[in-house]
């Protein structure tokens, strides 16, 4: 056990992630010589990064430094202007659907369907992820959404919508999580609960890349920070 949790919320979840096949020798995800140019501004160049199973990489930097741009490139949602992203020693083009099947990307936006209820959103993602029927009511209750299951998400608060959006992290079996500001709009209890869940994912061989403007409340030896310096 490599992790020490310094803040643990009372709302511990008892849904334990299944262990992934772990090879700590080979990188899971690599960025090699990445360059990103937006509106004639070089956000970053010759940027290298390596992420192995069990590791968490926090991408930090000021507003506009390029954190979301880097995460979108790592997720295969945008192309770098130079360099390439590798997943298990293959370019993303070579890895193809295998990469998509191993990745859970949750972007800046909550990504939920606002006309659907919390229950319908969770049910949709679970079905789309090929996860067998589960007790979605119990999951939503554990995420502090008891009694709100059947309300259209547009009527939920920002933090409640964020909880619905993050619910998929409790049932998708994806080794790599790329999360853009996952703590946005969450209260302290929810942040602590989510970080506890991160530790469980890492300890079962998962890997996480995330951005946050808040300091992580966990101590974990395989946690590294990549600081993107704002460039004019
Ligand atoms: N699709 C795009 N087209 C043009 N410019 C873009 C695009 N995406 C991002 N940018 C620009 O790139 C810069 C970096 O944006 P990005 O969202 O990556 O920053 P960030 O570090 O995530 O910022 P924040 O902390 O505010 O979320 C910004 O100046 C933004 O205007």
DSSP secondary structure letters along 183-204: TTT--HHHHHHHHHHHHHHHHT
- What is the ipTM metric for this complex? 0.96
How far does the centroid of ligand 1 lie from the alpha carbon of residue 65, in Å?
7
Ligand 1 atom 2, closest CA: 38
Give the pLDDT confidence of 142-170 residue by residue, as tens digits.
Answer: 999 999 999 999 999 999 999 999 999 99
Q: Ligand 1: does its nearest atom lie under 6 Å from the Cβ of 63?
A: yes
- In this structure, what are the phi and psi dihedrals at residue 84, rounded to the nearest 5 degrees? -155, 160
DSSP secondary structure letters along 8-57: --S-----PPPPPP--SSS-SEEEEEEEEEETTEEEEEEEEEEE-TT-EE
Ligand 1 atom 31, closest CA: 64
Residue 30: predicted pLDDT: 98
Ligand 1 atom 5, closest CA: 38
What is the residue extent of each domain of the chain?
Answer: 20-228
d(CA 49, CA 67): 13
Question: What pTM was estimated for this model as a whole?
Answer: 0.90
Structure tokens at 54: 């069990």
Give the pLDDT confidence of 176-210 residue by residue, as tens digits.
Answer: 999 999 999 999 999 999 999 999 999 999 999 99
Q: Ligand 1: does its nearest atom lie under 6 Å from the Cβ of 68?
A: yes
Tell whether the model's pLDDT for residue 25 goes beyond 60: yes
CATH topology of domain 20-228: Rossmann fold (3.40.50)
């Amino acid at each position: 056990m490599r992790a020490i949790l310094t803040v643990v919320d009372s709302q511990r979840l008892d849904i334990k992630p299944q262990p992934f096949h772990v090879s700590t020798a080979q990188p899971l995800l690599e960025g090699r010589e990445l360059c990103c140019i937006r509106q004639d501004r070089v956000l970053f160049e010759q940027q290298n990064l390596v992420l192995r199973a069990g590791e968490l990489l926090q991408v930090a930097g000021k507003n506009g430094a390029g954190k979301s741009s880097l995460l979108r490139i790592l997720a295969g949602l945008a192309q770098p202007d130079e360099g390439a992203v590798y997943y298990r020693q293959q370019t993303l083009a070579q890895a193809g659907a295998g990469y998509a099947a191993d990745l859970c990307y949750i972007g800046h936006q909550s990504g939920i369907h606002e006309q659907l209820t919390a229950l319908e959103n969770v049910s949709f993602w679970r079905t789309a992820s090929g996860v067998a029927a589960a007790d979605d009511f119990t999951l939503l209750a554990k995420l502090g959404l008891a009694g709100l299951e059947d309300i259209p998400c547009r009527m939920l608060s920002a933090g409640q919508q964020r909880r619905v959006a993050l619910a998929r992290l409790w049932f998708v079996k994806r080794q790599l999580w790329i999360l853009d500001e996952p703590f946005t709009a969450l209260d302290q209890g929810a942040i602590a609960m989510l970080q506890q869940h991160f530790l469980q994912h890492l300890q079962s061989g998962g890997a996480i890349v995330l951005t946050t403007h808040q300091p992580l409340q966990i101590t974990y030896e395989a946690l590294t920070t990549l600081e993107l310096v704002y460039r004019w």
